[in-house]
Homo-oligomer: A and B are copies of this chain.
Amino acid sequence: MAGNSFGRVFTVTSFGESHGPALGCVVDGCPPGLPLTESDLQTDVDRRRPGTSQYTSQRRESDTVRILSGVFEGRTTGTPIGLLVENEDQRSRDYEKIKDRFRPGHADYTYVQKYGFRDYRGGGRSSARETVMRVAAGAIARKYLHERVGVRIHGYLAQLGPIVLEPVDPASAYGNPFFCPDPGRLKELEAFIWNLREAGDSIGARVTVKADGVPPGWGEPVFERLDADLASAMMGINAVKGVEIGAGFKAVEQRGSQNRDEMTPQGFRSNHAGGVLGGISSGQQIVVSIALKPTSSITVPGDPIDVHGRPAGIVTTGRHDPCVGMRATPIAEAMLALVLMDHYLRHRGQCADVAATTPILPAGVP
């Protein structure tokens, strides 16, 4: 596989460029019999859509997802589900001027070194526009996990630059363009972004995603552990530079007596492990946090080089987000859903006939 497939049993194979005719993916391995319509996917896809607020890229795309196969009479058939989103607003002339230049912080230079040339229109395959298919595919996984297993996934913006946000009201994150879980901090975020825009600059962010209702036993012990696959899923999202499970880097300064999550008949007393022990889900809440770097496409002048390695003035144009992290929540949720779905089916494949010998502990503290 040349890197465009994800998952082992429940797999997503994606294709498409930012300014090509269409983006699409093939979701293979979905269990048959799941009720599924295009609107089931559209809800999640609309949440990551550009142009929906004044704080994000103004590219206009309806992002209408078509199901091309794998669904018959409203139910998944077990055969591959082909999904397609046509690109509509492809102002690729905007990009003529970066054709012969490498933008700093982008994949322009690395693509040319790898492939010999590149589709320079909007970043081509390296554009975050590709994530629309991850969200569409993730919506299938999420629906199955919710309806058949009772898994509930949610996420929110946990930090934007210096502004740290607490999940005061996690459900409210879906009602604002920042995915901010604390309605009281919205004004602060708005002001911060406006100032940034005026400065022609951008900012990093932290996003947290969680899954409740994951039973113990999903994952593998050594290489394709649940946490390793989560790390891969998250680090593979554009602009992500760090991934934490549970306590994450806080564990560096913790003592064992503080970090280990004591088990009692009433459940776990804490969740520093983030729901994964030895690569396998523990039945606690799965907690994953990611760091997103600031958009490199800013109007602050830089002094980049051209494709011949010579200095070349550049001003980034195109339509960009001042904080890509602001739109990452639905993408990270989708990736979490894909990993969990894959591991659910893998676990079922190997261990479906395991007879329970030990009672399942209550999840305990989230």
- The distance in angstroms between the C-alpha atoms of A130 and B238, with both chains bound, is 33
Give the distance in Å from the alpha carbon of A26 to the alpha carbon of B16 in the complex: 10
* A60 proximal to B (CB < 8 A): no
Q: Which of B243, B249, B277, B310 is A110 in contact with, Cβ under 8 Å?
A: B277
Q: Are A259 and B8 in contact (CB under 8 A)?
A: no
**A37 at interface, CB cutoff 8 A:** no
Q: Are A274 and B241 in contact (CB under 8 A)?
A: yes
**A229 interface hit (Cβ, 8 Å):** yes
Q: Mark A104-146, 1 if CB is under 8 A from B, else 0.
A: 1111011111111111010011100010000000000000000
A233 shortest CB reach to chain B, Å? 7
Q: Which residues of B contact A223 (CB under 8 A)?
A: 3-6, 12, 14, 232, 236
Q: Map CB proximity to B onto A285-320 as digits: 1 under 8 Å, 0 otherwise.
A: 000000111111110101111011111000000000
Chain A, range 165-205, C-beta contacts under 8 Å to B:
196, 201-205
- Residue among A2, A253, A296 having the largest count of chain B Cβ atoms under 10 Å: A2
CA distance A348 to B344 in the complex (A): 11
**Which of B15, B28, B296, B309 is close to A69, meaning CB atoms less than 8 Å apart?**
B15
Interface residue? A21 (CB, 8 A): yes
A260 to B, closest residue via Cβ: B105
Check A204 against B251 for contact (C-beta < 8 Å): yes
Is A154 an interface residue, CB under 8 A from the partner? no
The listed residue (B162, B248, B252, B348) touching A349 by CB distance below 8 A is: B348
Q: In the bound complex, what is the Cα–Cα distance between A254 and B292 (angstroms)?
A: 10
A21 touches B110 (CB 8 A): no
Knowing A263-B304, A352-B348, the reply to whether A110 touches B28 (Cβ < 8 A) is: no
Write the chain B residue with the least CB distance to A19.
B72
Q: Do residues A220 and B69 form an inter-chain contact, with CB atoms below 8 A? A: no
The reply to whether the CB of A257 lies closer than 8 angstroms to some CB of chain B is yes
Q: With A116-B357, A280-B110 in contact, is A294–B251 under 8 Å at CB? A: yes
Q: Which residue of B lies closest to A70 (CB)?
A: B15
Which 8 A-B residue pairs are closest in the complex by CB-CB distance?
Answer: A107-B278, A3-B220, A349-B349, A105-B260, A2-B29, A202-B256, A231-B235, A228-B236
